[in-house]
Amino acid sequence: MPQTPRQPERRQFLLRIGAAAGCGALVPLLHGCETAELYTLPPLHVEVTFDLAKSPYDALKTVGASLDVTFGNVDGLLVRVSDAQIIGVTRICPHQQGNIKWDKAGATLVCTTHAAKFASNGAVTGQPNNGDTLTTMLPTWAVTFDAATGKGTVQT
């Protein structure tokens, strides 16, 4: 005679229902976390020397000029913000990984995807135009620059 399947005990049944309900309750919470806000730079530490007398860095001879660079596996942007200062930032926006460009007229860094704006120190100065709120700073690189020699170093 075939055996009938054993019915779960009341306690096991309630535990299974409770676990399923708990997982279902987490879905709205996880939806609130945007993956873009969780973006972090890969751990890459590179030191690169540059000379404004040599290509491609000669593009930075003029104040307001910018240069797209790639060091290792990280895309970045060098910007000549004054006679004595060159800044370095990642070219990837922490909002939704859009491309960062230098807006010479506004003297600000701008995401080409949602127009989020950043100061030269990476601070958020303008929110994305899609209504999101951005609190994550744009990662910056340490740059030393000697305007007299036109030489410097970038540390990512």
The domain segmentation of the chain, as residue ranges, is: 41-155
**What is the reported pTM?**
0.71
Report d(CA 69, CA 152) in Å as an integer. Answer: 15
CATH fold for the domain made of 41-155 = Rieske Iron-sulfur Protein (2.102.10)
Report d(CA 43, CA 52) in Å as an integer. Answer: 28
Q: What confidence tens digit (pLDDT) does each residue in 19-40 have?
A: 566 555 554 444 444 444 445 5
Instruction: Write the DSSP symbol of residue 72.
Output: T
Q: What confidence tens digit (pLDDT) does each residue in 64-110 have?
A: 999 999 887 888 999 999 999 999 999 999 988 899 999 999 999 99
State phi, psi for 16 to the nearest 5 degrees: -65, -45
CB contact at 8 A, 50 and 61: no
Which distant-in-sequence residues (6+ apart) come within 8 Å of 70 by Cβ? 76
Report d(CA 48, CA 58) in Å as an integer. Answer: 15
